[in-house]
Amino acid sequence: LMKTAELDPRQNYLVGFHPHGVLAAGAFLNFCTEASGFSKIFPGITPHLMMLSLWFRIPFFRDYLMSGGLVPSDKESASYVLQKPEGGNLLAIIVGGAQEALDARPGSFTLLLKNRKGFVRLAIQNG
């Protein structure tokens, strides 16, 4: 991760991540672990990464996912994180989603954006 600006910990943020890749390992390492030093780069900000809602239906695995800061990739979960009044939350969305993972090829960076603009609406609605 590279710091590009100071983030006010009283606000909530929505971040788009690309590319998805086969397992979204880059997003997981940057937002769900301290591999990149997220807490030092963005003090006072708690990262949350959206993940396919299907995985949250598995008992105990759901709790494991949530302990790592993952949230289901649905509008309600995203709004919940972005509307927390105390602020200090960053919601990372892998823009191309699972469909983009199917296009993962060495040396290729395909961004699936067509018909995937709901995250922009979500950002506007939540300030």
Give the model's pLDDT for residue 92.
Answer: 93
Give the model's pLDDT for residue 94.
Answer: 85
In what side-by-side order are the strands of the sheet with 13-17?
13-17, 89-94, 46-51, 70-72
Give the model's pLDDT for residue 25.
Answer: 79
Structural domain boundaries in the chain: 13-125
Question: CA–CA separation, 30 vs 16, rounded Å?
Answer: 13
Q: What is the pTM of this model?
A: 0.81
Give the model's pLDDT for residue 123.
Answer: 81
Give the model's pLDDT for residue 88.
Answer: 95
Question: CA–CA separation, 124 vs 28, rounded Å?
Answer: 25
Give the model's pLDDT for residue 1.
Answer: 64
* Phi, psi for residue 23 in degrees, rounded to 5: -120, 5
Give the model's pLDDT for residue 37.
Answer: 92
What averages of pLDDT result for each successive group of 10 residues across the chain (127 residues)? 79 84 79 91 94 93 93 93 94 79 69 70 82
